[in-house]
Amino acid sequence: MHLARFPRIRLAHLPTPLEPLPRLSEALGVEIWIKRDDCTGLAGGGNKTRKLEFLLGDAFEQGADTLVTQGAVQSNHVRQTAAAAAAHGLACEVILEERTGSKAIDYTRNGNVLMDRLFGATMRTVPGGSDMTAQLEVSAAEVTARGGRPYIIPGGGSNAIGALGYVDCAREIVVQADELDMQIDRIVTATGSAGTHAGLVAGLAVMGADIPVLGIGVRAPKARQEENVLKLAHATAALLGRPNAVTADMVVADCDYVGEGYGLIDAAVIEALKLAARTDAIVLDPVYTGKAMKGLIALARAGRFEGERVVFLHTGGAQGLFGYQGEIEGAL
C-alpha cells in the first residue's frame, strides 16, 4: 500500500502489542486476542493517535498553525488531538457537544476534559444535537479572522486521511499474525465515527487479507452505521488507488448493544468492564470498548464465535472512566 506516499507526523508507539487473553478466553469459551491500541502512547494512548499521524502530516503540508476539532464532552479524540497540537507547537480549538446531557461534575470537569485543559486547548461547549460540522466552520472562521491558519479535523478524525491510520493498523495486525503463524478468523472493534472500522476494512481489502471485521455500534442504528462505514471505506480505498477493492458485504455492524444511547452506560457495560479487568487486567472505557466488549461477551455466550480465533481491537479511552465515577463506583 506504500503509505509513505502520504505526509505523516510520527506520534504513536508502534507496533502496538497483539496479545492473548487466556483468562477471558476461558471464561467465554472462545480464543480471544487483543490488539493493544490503548498503548499508542500519546496522552495515554488510544486509536485516534494513528489517525492523527496522517492528519497532522496533512495539516503541516497545508501550513496550518491551529487544529480545530469537535467531539462529545468526554471525547478521547479531543484529548489526543489537544496533545498532538501541544507536542508540535500548534494551537487547538475544541468544540465539545453535550451529547449525553450529563451535568455531573465528574463528567463535565474530570477525565478527558481535565486533560484537554492540561494540554492547553481552547474549549467551548454546545448543546447536544448541534450541527457540529457548522460549528467547526464557525471556529475555523474565527481562527482565520484572528490571522491564524486553521486545519479542520472531523469528529473522531474520521475522514479518508485519518482512516489511513487504520489501514496501517490492518497491515500491522497481518504482519504480527504471520510472525506468530496465527490465523485470525475475525476482528471485533467498536464502531462510532467510522474511521477505525473503515480503515481496517479498506486496508484488509487492499491487501487481500480476507479477515472479516465486526463493528459493535456505540451510537447509530445498524443501517446508518454500515452506510457511513462503507462510504468512508470506499473513499479510503480510492485514496490508496484501489477504488473497487471494498464491497458492501465487507462492512458489518451489530448495533444491538448501544443501550439508551451514545455515552450512556448500563449494567451490562459495567459487567464487561469488570470481566475484562478481573480476568486479564484489561482496562476498558465506558463509551467505546466497554460497549464493544459487552457485545463480544453476549455474542460469544450465544455461540456466534464458536471455533474462531477473535482479535479484539482495544481503541483506548480508559481516561474517560474518571468522568463516569459516580455511575460506576457503586457497581464495583
**Given pLDDT bands bounded at 50, 70 and 90, which one contains residue 163?**
very high
User: Which pLDDT score, from 0 to 100, does residue 332 have?
Assistant: 87
pLDDT of residue 46: 98
Residue 324 clears pLDDT 90, i.e. is over it:
yes
* Residues ≥6 apart with Cβ < 8 Å to 215: 188, 189, 190, 191, 197, 225, 229, 251, 252, 253, 254
What are 95-122's pLDDT values in tens digits?
A: 999 999 999 999 999 999 999 999 999 9
Q: Which of these is catalytic: 75, 102, 158, 193? A: 75
What average pLDDT does the chain have?
97
For residues 206 and 167, the answer to whether their CB atoms sit within 8 Å is yes
Check if the beta carbon of residue 193 is closer than 8 Å to that of residue 158. yes
Can you tell me the distance from the alpha carbon of 316 to that of 45, in angstroms, rounded to the nearest whole number?
6
Residue 303 — φ and ψ, nearest 5°? 85, 10
Residue 281 burial (CB < 10 Å; 0-12/13-18/19+)?
Answer: exposed
Would residue 75 show up in a list of annotated catalytic residues for this protein? Answer: yes
What does the DSSP assignment read for 66-129? EEEEEEETT-HHHHHHHHHHHHTT-EEEEEEEE-S----HHHHHSTHHHHHHHTT-EEEEEETT
| DSSP state at residue 181 | T
Residue 138's SS3 state is helix
pLDDT at 172 over 80: yes
Q: What is the pLDDT of residues 52-72, one digit of tens each?
A: 999 999 999 999 999 999 999
pLDDT at 295 (0 to 100): 98
Dist CA 132 CA 129 (whole Å): 8
pLDDT, tens digit (0-9, with 9 covering 90-100), for 181-227: 999 999 999 999 999 999 999 999 999 999 999 999 999 999 999 99
CA distance linking residue 317 with residue 312, whole number of Å? 15
- Classify burial at 70, counting beta carbons within 10 Å of its beta carbon; exposed 0-12, middle 13-18, buried 19 or more: buried
Evaluate whether 24 touches 34 at the Cβ level (below 8 Å). Answer: no
- Has residue 1 got a pLDDT over 80? no
Residue among 188, 181, 263, 191 nearest 222 (CA)? 191
pLDDT at 66: 98
* pLDDT (tens digit per residue) in 114-154: 999 999 999 999 999 999 999 999 999 999 999 999 999 99
At a CB cut-off of 8 Å and minimum separation 6, what does 176 contact? 15, 18
pLDDT tens-digit map of 246-290:
999 999 999 999 999 999 999 999 999 999 999 999 999 999 999
